[in-house]
Amino acid sequence: MKRPGKGDTCNLLRKTFLHKGVFVISGSPVVIMEEKADGFVVEYRDKEGLVHYIEGIQVSELQ
């Protein structure tokens, strides 16, 4: 996979995890917001449509 850029939509491959009280489901679509030294910042929308920003996502965790 080519390296994603800002605004790209990818699927999150990381196993389901809890992020600030919200379960982030494996395979969920996320939008790349920015790239930092320790990974990507992505925008995740839960099933209610609320936006959550997750930091530290690695390129190997995106599809």
Position 29 in a domain = yes
Chain length of the chain: 63
Strands 17-19 and 29-36, bridge-based pairing:
unpaired
Are 56 and 38 contacting, i.e. CB atoms less than 8 angstroms apart? yes
Position 25 in a domain = yes
Position 26 in a domain = yes
Question: Is the pTM value of this prediction over 0.85?
Answer: yes
Count of domains in the chain?
1
Position 1 in a domain = no
Structural domain including 47 reads 9-61
Position 2 in a domain = no
The one-digit pLDDT tens for each residue of the chain (63 residues) are: 688 999 999 999 999 999 999 999 999 999 999 999 999 999 999 999 999 999 999 999 999
Identity of residue 14: R
